[in-house]
Structure 1
């Protein structure tokens, strides 16, 4: 009896596996081209003033208007910035520090108060809650400039005019921040997590500072940036409240330089250089804090 081995079997050639078809390339549709072109035009529109500011900050006072505004000519940026910071006993540096104080402390305190108010309106049940929230919404629609003169009359009665408090205290109110924090807390902070923390013996303050603030970090970063930029660029309130130029923020200080440029021409170049420097903290804050937005972009995207 013979045994057939595998070597005796006829060889069957396996047909080659066809290669996967190449992924079709995205065709440039007219709608897509129009969209990209529109976005490019919008980007150029917003970036062109910044580019002009950078170019003008590198020129001497007589070359700002005597040369092309869109091209560098005898760049002397470091020399210009040195003159900006040393003029009038370093008053510009004082203005920058004042703006950092107003915007940094004011935005941080306003963000914390908005988080507490928004969390309370979202997760606690009490009489008049909706009335309070509607009042906050009315504050969002109210222009801030309309409150400057009434605040001046109030602060003049209590002796706070021409002090740092006259600019800091109004900056603590952020109706938009309260609104945003309430909306975010309702969707991002689960009630089961709060109940579990209370069962474990955590007090309300510990729950808020250790749990809620971490969960609400994307919304808090948004509120902080809005408030920081708003306070940094605020002009009318310091103009009404302050008379000592050593307490001016950078926006009000640069305006005084521009006004005096008719008598002292070089102040126009100092104003341009000072405006260039004043933009840098805002850009740095945006770049540093944007990662918190990325961590919160997928919040709620997973279905439970």
Structure 2
């Protein structure tokens, strides 16, 4: 016996990935509803390699009564309208937007990091999925925090254009073509040319000079992992289609050598350690794309602080940073609370 599952935003990058991953991981589904705005009604979505399809329905007219789980990938404004409706109807919402992440009554979950926090979902019937850059970082930090208690993290991100949706991917593709053929470059999604460039600006600027993306990494890490950890982030958009990379410097309460850290990371859930000190002995977004793992490489001691460690972290932002994490939350929810059969 399976679940009745709805995917809201089913025609977007993340929504389509959610549907694919549900099929790949054989999530127990009795009925699947693909939901989107009126513009996409009637579109047909293939269900991975099953040979089956599902037709897109209008979320505005959908009745969530009797449905078990809804995976939301529709942005904050639409989520504000529909998530309470689904939750009140008894359908647990797993939301990929930023709307509920810092709500004290909504658990913010990365299953490898804070699975017990999911027990608080009953307060609102909503569970939040973290920001893509936060998700992969806390997976890498969790086993090190357990071993040596992290005090401070300084992270610089190298975030792919897919984090800005299809429009971001299209802009990188079109600008690259325009440069090669000598056409004038169109700049609309990003604040500056993204092709053959990097942009140290993701989301809006705040009064202290940081961006909202950087703020998210700070507050979400504290909520998921430990409120005592100090975090400083610089978030940068790079001309990569899929896969976020992060350079992470860590200061811990006790000494943790590089070899010991490697041994810990090698056994940690969700992590693939690729760390050979030779040409090509590290992970890049190309290797991470389409994979579930959070890759960790270049683990080394940082002598500029007491008990310092540095590492390189790469993950497919559409999977672990969004769709995969949402499905893993659904699996965790099923195991702990919505058991069938």
**TM bucket, shorter chain:** under 0.3
Q: Whose helix proportion is higher, 1 or 2?
A: 1
Q: TM-score, normalised by structure 1?
A: 0.21
- By relative contact order (CA 8 Å, sep 6+), the higher-ranking structure is 1
| TM-score, normalising length: structure 2 | 0.19
Q: Give 1 or 2 for the bigger CA radius of gyration.
A: 1
